[in-house]
Amino acid sequence: MSRRLALAALLAAGCTRCSSPHFVLQPVQPGPAAPPFAATLRVIHFGDFGDDTWQHSTVGRAMAEWARSSPVDFALSVGDNVYECGPDLDLPGAASCSFAPDGNTVAAGYVPPTDPRFRKNFEASLESLLRDGKPVPIWLVLGNHDINVWGSCKAGSDPVAASRARACLEVAHRSPQWSMPGRHWVLDRGPARFIAIDSNLLKADYGGFSFDDEVAFVARASEPCGEKLCFLVTHHPAASAGEHFEDATPDYLARVKRIEEAGGGKIAAWLAGHEHQLEHLRSATGRDVLISGNTSRGRPGDRFAHLSTPGSKLLFATNTWGFGVLEVGDGRWAYRFVNDRGEPIYCCAASGRGPCEPVRCSQ
C-alpha cells in the first residue's frame, strides 16, 4: 500500500493522532509497592469506547493482550458505548422498544432489530478479549451519548420518547460482548458487589425516568456492603479534573451527595468514565473516584487545571491511552491504569473500603 493510501486508511479509521500522548500529572507521589495478595477477582474497567477509531482498535488490542497474560473474570464498560447518537431509531421496530413497568428492564417479548452500530462501534474490537477461549463477559451502563437526541442526533419531534427508546435498545441488545440487564443492575462476583446506575440522571431527569428511583435502588443494593466490597459503576464521576468539570453544578453535586448517602458510606469507590482520560481522585467525602475513559476519543490537550468538586483531591491524571484493572481479594483491593502498550503506569492499593493509596507498580 502506498504511503498516501495508508494515510487515507488511517484517517478513514478515525485516526487524527495515531499515537498516544504522554502528559502525566501526579501530585501525590507513590509509596512503596504494596505487598502481594491473593486476588480472587480481576476486572477490566474501560469507558467511552464506542467510536471506530485508531485509538479504539489500539486499546481494544491492548486489553485483549493483557487478558491473555493476566486472565480477567469480566469487564465493565462505563458508558458512551455507541457514538455519536446511540442506537439507530430509524430501523424497523426500533422506536417501539419499551420498558417493563419497573422502568428498568425491557418489556417481555420485545426483540430489537439488528443494528450494525453495535458491532462496528463496540463489539468487533473486543472479540479477542477472551478467557480460556471464550469471550470475557462485558457488563455495560448507559452514557450520555447512548441516549443523545440533540443536535445531529435529533430523532423525531419528541426528545423524551427518543432518549427513552435509545436507552431501551441498549438494554435490549445482547451479544457475547454485551450484557446490560437494565438501566441499573447489581452484579455479585466473589468478594465484591458492583452496583451500576443510570448516571445520566445525575445531570437531570430524562426520558420519563426519575433520579429518585436510582437513589432508592442504591439504598437497597448497598445493604450487603458491610460484608462485601462494593463498587459503584457509573458513566458520570463524582469528581473529575477534565473537560467536564463544568458538569458539577450545585444540582449535580446535590445528586452525587444523595447517591453517596444512599450507599450509607459503604461504597469503596466509583468506577466511572465520561472524561476521556485516566484519573484517580478522592472525593470530598473520602471516596475513591477512578475514571477510565481514554479508549476511543482522547483529549491530548487537557492539562487537568480544574477540579470539578470543592474538597476533592487529584491523585493522578494522564491523557495517555489506556484502561483500568481492578483486583479484589482477602479484604483488600488494588487498581492500576495500563497504557496501550500493556505497561502499568499507575497503581494504588487499599484495605477494606479504602482509601486506595498510590503505590509503585510491580509487575
For residue range 238-252, list pLDDT tens digits in order: 999 999 999 999 999
Q: For the chain, what's the residue count?
A: 363
311 conformational bin, left if phi > 0, alpha if psi -120 to 50, beta if neither: left
For residue range 21-46, list pLDDT tens digits in order: 999 999 999 999 999 999 999 999 99
Domains along the chain with CATH numbers: 20-359 (3.60.21.10)
Decide the pairing of beta strands 322-329 and 41-46: antiparallel
Q: How confident is the model at residue 12 (pLDDT cuts 50, 70, 90)?
A: very low
First to last CA, the chain: 38
List C-alpha distances in Å: 148 to 230, 278, 293. Answer: 30, 24, 18
Q: Rounded to an integer, what is the distance from CA 244 to the centroid of its chain?
A: 15
For residue range 134-179, list pLDDT tens digits in order: 999 999 999 999 999 999 999 989 999 999 999 999 999 999 999 9
List C-alpha distances in Å: 7 to 16, 123, 255. Answer: 10, 25, 46
Residue that the C-alpha cell 501525590 belongs to:
28
Amino acid at the residue 35: P
Rg of the Cα trace of the chain? 19
Q: How many other C-beta atoms are found inside a 10 Å radius of the C-beta of residue 345?
A: 18
- Give the model's pLDDT for residue 15: 52
The span from the CA of 278 to the CA of 267, in Å, is: 20
